[in-house]
Structure 1
Amino acid sequence: MKHIKGMLVFIGLFILVGCAPDQEPTKQTTSGPQETKQVKQVTVTNQTTSAVEKQAPTKNDELIANQLTFDSHEYTYEVVTGATQTTFGTTPPAKYTPEEKKEKMFWSNQPPLGLMTGNYYKNEGVFTGGNYGIVEIITEPETQRILNVEFTEFASDPYYDTRYSGVNKRLSDYPEFQASNTRTDDTLVTVVNGITYVEKQMRDENRVTGNFYTVRGSSTSAREGLMPLAAEMDTWLKEPSKETYIGYAEDLGNGLIARLQVITEEQKIKHVSYDEYFSDEQEKITETALRPFYRQSKYYSPGYNKQTNNSFIHFVDALTKAITTQQTLSVNEEQEL
């Protein structure tokens, strides 16, 4: 995990001296609730439409804050302006073999790559079925433009399938569990597809209120979790936050993405998180023993942590505790973590 040290030093410099984030203005749009449900087909990527075009980096290039790269896979969805009827609890006949279905479905756990810094806002609460949702929003300090919206959902505890009680639905194998059920044969989407599509609209349209299109067959988490929690934050986003976000995510080139996130208030470190995300595509993971955990993260993958006796969780928890306790990202290498 040598790459962690470099990330800690890098982020530490930004905490000390600050940075000059990209300030390209974004057109703000408003939208009111739709009076009648509308259905349409869209083809999209998760890349933010207002993002600055990234140039191929050269040896002497400096990393520019808030010049981010999102998942670039092209998706085709049937989307609606209202809630869709749930098929929960049903087991219709299979339309595809597992291999055919795997070819047809795609979702991404990739965090935005690059350096992100700005105002930090967070809201959380319980919603339908006892699931727990957390919405984190980062805005550009000068313009209050939304840089990122991220929704995390933890399954209720207990959950009807005990394997997923209290599990992070986005970063575990929960979407694979959904994909394996014949209920998704018609829609070919998981909870992650539904969440990321609404997050993209919020970024692109620079708003968290009003109605949004949701993916047919994957609207519950978005409409009953993400959207209400985000809407409650609308007035907060109009004012500078007391908390500052500094995060950096990098593709390590071996099928893993390393992500470090630091929350500060008055230059005091309040919260630190570190995780490593497995690639969305199995063949990109160089260590074959890790390929079963594609589209998951090391910290939140039940299977990975069972196989490794929670060693990554123990390491990260000790590291982040040391950072917040010592108030420095320069943790002594000889210190026992």
Structure 2
Amino acid sequence: MAMSNKLKKTIIVSSIGLATLSALGCASSLTQGKYVDGTHLVQAKGKKSQIVLEVKVDQGKIVDIKTKSHKETESLYLNAERLLPRIVANNGHEGIDAVSGATYSSNGILKAVNDLPRASSVQPEYVAVGAKEEQGDDFKLKWSIQPKLGLLVGDYYYEEARFRQGHMGSMTIVTNSQDRNDVILAEFNESGRPNYYTRLYQDVPKRMSEYNFSMGKKKGTAWVQSALTMEKLMVEQDKLTFEPNPNHDPKLANKLKEPNRLKYLGIDVVAGASNSIQQSMIPLTAKIHHKIHGEGTRLKFYQLAEKLVNEKGRWTGITAMLRLVVDPASKQIIKAHFDEIFADEKAQIQDASLKKFYRQSKYDSINYSEPARIGFNVMIDALNAHLQAGGSLFDINDLPATGDSGNYAATGFTKRSSSWDIYLNQAEQLYKKMRLDGVIAEHKHPAAK
């Protein structure tokens, strides 16, 4: 039966419509999802400059974001850049708050992302957001401050010097006594300058103190992470000197994901301590390297680190460490340090009252309260002075918190610190080893009462 003209026209129009929809479907398959596929440069105003981002979109989703250029305050922008992985995970800026302390830079980043070309061709208006403090005290950054367990013996080298406005940097290197090129310990520390703008951290060692948490929350990386990265490189590669990098790009100085952040070859350190590494750690280590291959050292280093366990043999979450440096020529102790180091994670610490000190040590912590009613650091500094003056490793009864006075008002102490018994146990072990090696004079035990 012949079709009517009206029906023919309807079929033709429908066919055209379907073909058009099909063609549109093919064209839009490249931009399915929220955003248009491709690599896009987007920008927006921060506090001081235009922030230019390079954003990669695949199948309508953001898969990577990099900062191409900005002239914001570097430390503040580094903090704001913590938003980038969140934007990728969220596939957009919606619902993301600004970073506290870097609100303008944060809004520059978020507004730039808002300008990404949309698959729908509809560009929503950007509404500035404020900062919202993170809830809870969970800290996502990870690092370990645990010392190598057991006995460590070698040749001892040490340098310290002030740098950049008065910070004190110190570098300890221990080498194999049988092979001076074998680095068995590298440890960098730094104390805040005496006039530090935050009084809390004036003259405070950074390695195992609260400073790393404060820095981490502010900049997204802890100070100690850079030091640990460098130390691992030095020990694993027996490498103590670093040549200038001719291809160094200063614009990448504090970028977390880019290479060449420091002016030395073969180094890729997280941001957070780049000044400390460049201005203190590397120069100090270079001096030690020169000494190792020059005059050498006669000093010997002895360290014992062991996990403290309870009556059931379970780790308490505290690691005790005693270090002694001796001069075999005079057979005298020239430096001593004892510390109790808390576990890297709260869950590993049995005593609930001590969990908040994770990744810190009793000596370095600002907030740790010694039950003996005196600063733990005061106790250990007194021990160091006592041994340097020729005192016995074991006769410590004149040192702070070694006895039960029972009268805090009169003496400042309420009871003997339990840390002294831990110290004495470790001192006995190291003493036996040093006597066997013939590097130390006899140390007498106090007469029994």
What's the counterpart of residue 222 of structure 1? Answer: 277
Give runs of aligned pairs for residues 56-135 of structure 1, distance below 5 A. Answer: 86-87=74-75, 91-93=101-103, 97=134, 102=139, 104-135=140-171
**Residues 306 and 220 of structure 1: CA distance in aligned 2, closer, same or farther (over 3 Å):** farther
Question: What is the CA–CA distance in structure 1 between the aligned matches of 2:222 and 2:396, rounded to whole Å?
Answer: 41
Structure 1 vs Structure 2: percent identity of aligned residues?
Answer: 28
Gaps of 5+ in 2: 1-72, 80-100, 104-130, 243-263, 309-314, 403-449
**Residues 88 and 131 of structure 1: CA distance in aligned 2, closer, same or farther (over 3 Å):** farther
- Which structure shows the bigger proportion of residues in helix conformation? 2
Offset, 1:127: 1.6
Q: Which has the higher contact order (CA 8 A, sep 6+)?
A: 1
Offset, 1:167: 0.9
Gaps of 5+ in 1: 1-84
**Aligned partner letter, 1:193:** Q
Give runs of aligned pairs for residues 164-183 of structure 1, distance below 5 A. Answer: 164-181=201-218, 183=219
Matched, 1:325 2:335: no
Matched, 1:151 2:188: yes
Give the structure-2-normalised TM-score: 0.51
- The CA RMSD over aligned residues, in Å, is 2.6
Question: What is the CA–CA distance in structure 2 between the aligned matches of 1:314 and 1:242, rounded to whole Å?
Answer: 29
What's the counterpart of residue 242 of structure 1? Answer: 298
Matched, 1:265 2:327: yes
Question: What is the CA–CA distance in structure 1 between the aligned matches of 2:141 and 2:334, rounded to whole Å?
Answer: 39
- How many equivalent residue pairs? 246
Match of 1:284 among 327, 348, 351: 348
What's the counterpart of residue 24 of structure 1? Answer: none
**Aligned partner letter, 1:204:** E
Question: What is the CA–CA distance in structure 1 between the aligned matches of 2:208 and 2:292, rounded to whole Å?
Answer: 27
Deviation string for 1:26-85 (max 9, x for gaps)? xxxxxxxxxxxxxxxxxxxxxxxxxxxxxxxxxxxxxxxxxxxxxxxxxxxxxxxxxxx9
**Residues 199 and 86 of structure 1: CA distance in aligned 2, closer, same or farther (over 3 Å):** farther
**Residues 96 and 228 of structure 1: CA distance in aligned 2, closer, same or farther (over 3 Å):** farther
Question: What is the CA–CA distance in structure 1 between the aligned matches of 2:373 and 2:323, rounded to whole Å?
Answer: 24
Give runs of aligned pairs for residues 179-190 of structure 1, distance below 5 A. Answer: 179-181=216-218, 183-184=219-220, 189-190=221-222
Offset, 1:203: 0.9
Offset, 1:100: 9.2
